[in-house]
Structure 1
Amino acid sequence: MSRPRRGFVPRILVLPALIGLAFLVVPLLALIGHVDWGTLWADVTAASSLAALGLSLLTGVIATALCLVLGVPLALLIARSSPRRAALLRVLVTVPLILPPMVGGAALLFLFGRNGWLGPVLLDAGLRIPFTTTAVVMAQTFVALPFLVLAVEGPLRAVGTGYDEVAAGLGAGRWTILRRVTLPLAGPGLVAGTILCFARAIGEFGATALFAGNAPGTTQTMPLAIYTAFNGAGVSQGSAVALSLLLLGAAIAVLLLVRAWRPEVVR
């Protein structure tokens, strides 16, 4: 059995590669090293920490559900569009990924704020969105939706429409094809996209801070509580480090779950 080829990477590149890896890993190790393990449980279970954690989980779940309701149809639309239209739609979906989150928060504020395009109409109807828990969900949805759409659209485009056409030829209706054929084929992408979407939602900071504010118990999620603590207010620094550790653990768990659902590449 032949040995796997390792390529011909110049050995001199190993040093900058290791420096880059250390630059990414060592700060996280420093964070872990700063955790006071003796008070970790007390820090995590403090009232302010539980409020931020509970709000993050609640709004993250709601935002992920909204992303599924809106993102799966959008992914289907992109996957089944002509190449030119699909490219345009894909660009529009990707824009929030490359924009600074603060820009997304400002955009939402200019749309739904008191002086925004829809603000006066909503106020006349007795609805106020900015600086409420609803605004947290909307900000999380805005930044997390592209992760789900792009994760689902790729598998849908890859499998094509051949199986759908066979099912239609056997007499299956559109909804049956969607439920029994299309979505199962995109299952790994759907699961991975959902996990990434939830992780991005609970880690959102910039758009939430600008559009929803930082009110404890109402709009202060875990990232906002951590930021506030390190600026000397609200949650204690011990709780902030503990919450940071929770977010780090959640990120690692997400990567492991996504890896578990990713098909192996056959070489």
Structure 2
Amino acid sequence: MLDGLTQPLSPAEWSAVALSLRVSLWATLVSLPLGVFTAYALARWRFPGRELLNGLVHLPLILPPVVTGYLLLLTFGTRGPVGGLLQEVGIVFAFRWTGAALAAGIMAFPLMVRAIRLSVEAVDPKLEEAAATLGAPRLWVFATVTLPMILPGVIAGAILAFAKAMGEFGATITFVSNIPGQTQTLPSAIYAFLQVPGAEGAALRLVLISVVLALSALLASELLARRVAKRVAGQ
């Protein structure tokens, strides 16, 4: 098995790595604006249904990933209430890489929101109130006062979400299956190789790649967050 580590990656393995990076990147980029808005709303606003929203945001962490994937299939499948409407305009998620990005983004969303929310809660609301009393619009106050101060948390949340999306398996394989070259991400490829006698070396190579990518993301999160925090403090 260890001999397989010295062999180059096959086209199927490269495809799984590339697709995982693509899925994780899009899942993070698309969900980031919503994550910032949700985190700010939960940290600053008081409104009816706030606790319900907080529960829904964290629900993917509690539910089994397979259940989340099945709910996505019921909702965004071609026969689902949302998926059926989207199909009419040419947007399909089920059994497509876009569906893998949707599933990965939903599973990673709670981690992103949690990291950003903690940063928002650490900002003194009086700073925002002071800017508002000077006549600055709320959106401008957020962009010029709040956002720079919570930027380390935003970066940390985004990178944690990216790492989580890279490792998502249960919801993804339930929603979009395990189609090589189309929906087969790193975890799905590892699972597939483990079912084939003699393919343990390929599975081990992908496992090591997953570990390296996850650790790199976590280290990058720490370094970037510290650098931005020092820059903000220097201001």
For the aligned pair, the TM-score class normalised by the smaller chain equals 0.7 to 0.9
Aligned counterpart in structure 2 of residue 247 of structure 1, from 207, 210, 225: 210
- Mapped to 2, the partners of 1:38 and 1:82 lie a distance apart of 54
Residues 152, 190 of structure 1: 8 Å contact kept: yes
- Mapped to 2, the partners of 1:153 and 1:187 lie a distance apart of 11
The alpha-carbon distance between structure 1 residues 115 and 37, as it changes in their structure 2 partners (threshold 3 A), is closer
- Mapped to 1, the partners of 2:103 and 2:117 lie a distance apart of 22
Question: How far is the alpha carbon of 1:188 from its aligned partner?
Answer: 1.8
- Identity, in percent, stands at 39
Please give the root-mean-square deviation of Cα atoms over the aligned residues, in Å.
Answer: 2.3
Q: Secondary structure at the match of 2:180?
A: coil
Give the TM-score normalised by the residue count of structure 1.
Answer: 0.77
Query: What does the per-residue CA deviation read over 1:115-168, in whole Å, with 9 as the maximum and x for residues that have no partner?
Result: 322233334444432001111111111101111111101221232421111122
Residues 5, 205 of structure 2: 8 Å contact kept: no
The alpha-carbon distance between structure 1 residues 210 and 38, as it changes in their structure 2 partners (threshold 3 A), is closer
The alpha-carbon distance between structure 1 residues 105 and 164, as it changes in their structure 2 partners (threshold 3 A), is same
Aligned: 1:133 with 2:129: no
Residues 79, 86 of structure 1: 8 Å contact kept: no
- Mapped to 2, the partners of 1:253 and 1:240 lie a distance apart of 20
Task: Give ranges in structure 2 of 5+ residues lacking alignment.
Answer: 230-235
Aligned twin of 1:221: 185
Aligned: 1:36 with 2:3: yes
Aligned twin of 2:30: 66
Give the TM-score normalised by the residue count of structure 2.
Answer: 0.87
Aligned residues: 226
Aligned: 1:256 with 2:229: no
Aligned: 1:82 with 2:49: no
- Mapped to 1, the partners of 2:211 and 2:80 lie a distance apart of 36
Letter in 1 for 2:170: G
Residues 20, 186 of structure 2: 8 Å contact kept: yes
Question: How far is the alpha carbon of 1:100 from its aligned partner?
Answer: 1.1
Aligned: 1:185 with 2:149: yes
- Mapped to 2, the partners of 1:124 and 1:172 lie a distance apart of 43
Aligned twin of 1:103: 67
- Mapped to 1, the partners of 2:92 and 2:28 lie a distance apart of 22
- Mapped to 2, the partners of 1:217 and 1:167 lie a distance apart of 51
Question: How far is the alpha carbon of 1:59 from its aligned partner?
Answer: 1.1
Aligned counterpart in structure 2 of residue 119 of structure 1, from 73, 76, 83: 83
